[in-house]
Amino acid sequence: MSVPAADGAWPARASWRDSAARILPLAWPVFIAQLAVVAFGTVDTLLVARYAALDLAALAVGSAAYITVFIGFMGVVVAAGPIVGQFFGAQQLPEAGHQLHQAVWIALGLAAVGSTLLAWPAPFVALAQATPEVEAKMRQYLMALAFALPAALLFAAYRGFNNAVSRPKAVMVIQLAGLALKVPLSAALVFGVPGLSLPALGVLGCGIATAVAMWLQVAAGLWVLRRDRFYAPFELGRRLRTPDRRAIAVQLRLGLPMGASILIEVTGFAFMAIFIVRLGATAVAGHQLAANLVSVLFMLPLALANATTTLVAQRIGARDLAAARRVGWHGLQIGVCLGAAVGAGVYLLRHGVLRLYTDDATVIAAALPLLAWVALFHAADAAQAVASFVLRAYRIATLPMLIFALSLWGVGLGGGYLLAFDVTGLAPAALHGARGFWAASTTGLVLAALGLSALLALVLRRQRHGEARQSATAVTESAGSA
């Protein structure tokens, strides 16, 4: 049995192509796996859009609430990834395995809190100010997702560990299998199966299907960890180890600001749906289509960010800091270029893309103006994703959290509210309604991308200068001793 090993030594002056050749083999399985995750929501949107506009509105608001809870807590759980990556790069494999056990304890603790919030969603209901009909459907949907959340967080721990040890295909296969189950099950539960006396459940059926698929993914992940000989050197064992306060504290010191950053990023966008629902079912339905499209597009820079931070963390663990700097900066360049190209392409094809979601001309008309922002939005999204992930590999998360808060909450969400509802009476008519939220959100995202990229450049420059000083000191001491 071979012992897993981190990526081998990098060339002394690795080029952009060298970095791309190492990033892309790790990125494409993550990309497909993340597409499978987003496809869960895409499938629900496509099915419910053809079922009833009322259910689609409930799905939009309910999804925003669930994503807010799940993504924020997931950010804490996956903090084990950079830590595992460094141990993996240093070939301290049992310690890397120990981190997975502690991530599971963190996931279970957060799941207890999150499921409670979803089962009793009073804060989200108050923010949405939805009609009684939409509220009733939203509550049913969130109750089903309360049972899905523990499985989702446990699988996040499994996913973070596998990505950190350059094993993304193990995640991809399971998530594709989960999607293969989710599609027919959601269709059957949303529309019903008269021959089986299965009633049409609408948006509730989507929640039930998600819960079933997520728990089966957890079962499959556990089976892989126990059966695949690749994991033997990590000494995972067959039972969950007792909580290690020190290891949990280390993960939380990185994970809490990471989770807060992701929560700020997601709520700055997802809360748009909660506020836009006040403008009516058509406005929120149009926003839901645009939001889902942007979420699908984001999977490409997210995959690049995951792959880049994996390599950076492993190189840091192997004490190859020059290679860590190069691959981190090259990953940012690749992400921005691809983000701009994909965003521009989707904007040019926006009419056809929206028709894949629905034939409702009213909903398409509501969504089209929002896509005018997609090219710039996506390029900025790619830059902030890669930059923030690389900073996490260096265990820097608090300052990025503050950048996210000022840019996405202050400028994006706060500015969007002022524009959309014309609170000051000064907003131009073209930016009233959902368009105001999208304009402000894009502006905030650009500011976040610039701030995080500048911070990453500063961190890498200081590290390089620090190495140069150490090298000069070593040469001086060597000459003196001679």
Q: What is the pLDDT at residue 214?
A: 96
With b for 16 or more beta-carbon neighbours within 10 A and e for fewer, the 319-330 pattern comes to ebbebbbbbbbb
- The better pLDDT of the pair 371, 470 is held by 371
For the chain, which residues make up each domain, given as ranges? Answer: 21-466
pLDDT above 70 for 318: yes
Phi, psi of 198, rounded to the nearest 5 degrees: -95, 115
Q: What are 373's two structure tokens?
A: 């922002």
Residues 159-198 have pLDDT tens digits of 999 999 999 999 999 999 999 999 999 999 989 887 777 8
Task: Tell me which residue of 209, 212, 162, 166 sits closest to 190, measured CA to CA.
Answer: 209
Distance of CA 357 to the CA centre of its chain: 22
pLDDT above 60 for 338: yes
How many CB atoms lie under 10 A from the CB of residue 352?
A: 9
Q: CA-to-CA distance for 26 and 40, rounded, in angstroms?
A: 22
Q: What are 312's two structure tokens?
A: 């950076």
Q: CA-to-CA distance for 384 and 452, rounded, in angstroms?
A: 6
Q: What is the pLDDT at residue 291?
A: 77
CB-CB contact of 151 with 141 (8 Å): no
pLDDT above 70 for 14: no
Q: What is the pLDDT at residue 5?
A: 52
Q: CA-to-CA distance for 159 and 167, rounded, in angstroms?
A: 9
Q: CA-to-CA distance for 27 and 464, rounded, in angstroms?
A: 27
Q: What is the pLDDT at residue 475?
A: 40
Q: What is the pLDDT at residue 136?
A: 86
Average pLDDT for residues 102-127, to the nearest whole number?
A: 90
pLDDT above 60 for 482: no
Residues 74-103 have pLDDT tens digits of 989 998 999 999 999 999 999 999 999 999
